[in-house]
Structure 1
Amino acid sequence: MLETVTLDLEHTERGEGHEAAAAATSAPLTPNTPADCGELLFQRCLWCGTPDYRRSFCRACGSRALRREPSAGDGVVLRRQGQVPHNTWFVAMNEGFNLLCRATGTPPVAVGSRVSVVRAGAPLGQGLPVVEPTRPPTSDRSW
């Protein structure tokens, strides 16, 4: 069933309510999402519980039943991805999923560094999340 919308041209021609119309058209096209607010979301499979980031199906069981959950935003750097100027890294998040992200901050980023998410991504979901080192790398070896 289609709905028809009728415009009240009488008020438009006289300029009444022009401010309200201008405010309505200047509003953003999409509502604020958690990513706009800096919250990192990941997906968890409802069948097997496997966590993942931005997938259309579970990589473990193939299910399409995924639930979004907020991440605490903390993880450990696994390895560098690509060339040095791009500064992209794979990070193992505490929730159990891996994330490709950009690194920023004063301490140099190294494999094993603890990092936290400072920006989840661009407003419309494009772009990489940005992480910042919280502690220098830790060694598993005891000397």
Structure 2
Amino acid sequence: MTLPPTIRVQREDFDLQAEVDRLSKNNPGVGAIVTFSGLCRDDGGTLAALELEHYPGMAEAAMTRIGELAIERFGLLGLTAIHRYGKIAVGENIVLVVAVAPHRQAAFDGANFVMDFLKTAAPFWKKEHSRDGAEGDWVAAKDADDAARDKWK
């Protein structure tokens, strides 16, 4: 049984196990579950938080297109993609991708595909906030993210 993608952009945290259970319980075709949970990290010991903003409506639409593509391309039985916004402290969750499929490779590829496209095709912006209270810069897009996305073409 293939489920449509579940896409959410939300301020509040998510429950990884609840999301896995929602996709896998009562779905006997599921043989593989791959999860990716992205956290706010402190590169170099100076970051206190990231502030994430998004373009409401457009972010969800882009994420839905990416999810539908992943389900079709990799034969996933279900997919959840959740992206948080607001001020997120170091160590807190930012993004979750759960891909379920009959076999492991499809689940791995589907989750990787979704993350590579979320980083480049969904309208989210990050601003750094340092431990000393200073408001930092907006984080620039990385060439490595574009290269990761382009490998799927």
Which structure would you say has the larger Rg?
1
TM-score, normalised to structure 1, is: 0.22
Q: Which has the higher helix share?
A: 2
